[in-house]
Structure 1
């Protein structure tokens, strides 16, 4: 179970879905990912498509996470009611914002989520079971992608209900004035601060490895990452196509 792995700080590897097609999920499922994250922040995936993707991911024995568009009550409530196994919340920069994310996932008295009946609650037939499930198994990941989040990382990790972190290297570097240049020393120092805080609080240190090169993922495993997003659907597709065509073109010279 994903929640147990996060609580025990065990390695778990998933990937990122940006294309709103069930076939993409079915192909990705053959690779052995434990979870897939549907990106609703930087893509054209809408709620109807997200529901279809959640269903397809779960039907292929993976956990369905959603990176919501923002840390906002309705955005989170809708994907949870559609049956998502958890959320990745972008731009969490403070303890208060981390608490907001927990409140929008959990029902009272733990949180402040409004109660509705939809797919997650068995269309009204399994509310009691779902209420228990939310408390015990729903996953909430804070995305650390701003220098303010780095400065407040220990307070963020102290919030009950935050299951782990995932560093967003592009936005983090952008918040430091160097978008995309996340191998700079100052950006790397910020990332190390996050890693050290996660170790101190025994919370999963996560990272989105953008590249499809597996050695890049291995290097993050070696440095202690336990919640890892491995590349993106379009990089797996595009990188293999480009690599193959480059070899063909070289052979024709």
Structure 2
């Protein structure tokens, strides 16, 4: 997760409401997770982040780059509508658009993360919304949906992947990276607040994705073979 903040109150970022047709999934990632990322983004903005030009865009699924398949995991996205749930600063999305030729949409619930992304990548389609709210209100076809330590993993999995499956075209692709079970930390820890993760084993992810209507589910550990800290998952419609 990486325009501007609304009222500036963390209470306005709770994302705990649900929408009709969402299967009970919250429209956003919940108060703890959104607050963590909002504080992180505001700290970066205060440090002058909006004034720094971005480097060339690159795509990463992992924190370390070790064992990272990069944007190749998404396949040929030329001309396809690609949605990132939890786009953060938009660097991955920029790569998919500039290098891959996709029609990219970045979605993030943190207003300050979206503010950072818009400063880095002006003219991109960047939406400040919870993942479920976006999926339920957006009407255009989605060919590829991905999340890099974003909405998938920070929200209850079953209702969210069910919504994604409903919105993806056939054929379509869902790809995401999440904390591997047992990982100590993958989100910023500020003032003693740590994000909440919904962790699942590779077998559990495979089962719940198949139950949601996906096929050809693939999982892989990344970072290091000895101590994997990132789990990468793909599933097709």
- TM-score band by shorter chain is 0.3 to 0.5
Larger helix share, 1 or 2: 1
Higher relative contact order (CA 8 A, sep 6+): 2
TM-score, length of structure 1 as denominator length: 0.33
The structure having more radius of gyration, on CA atoms, is 1
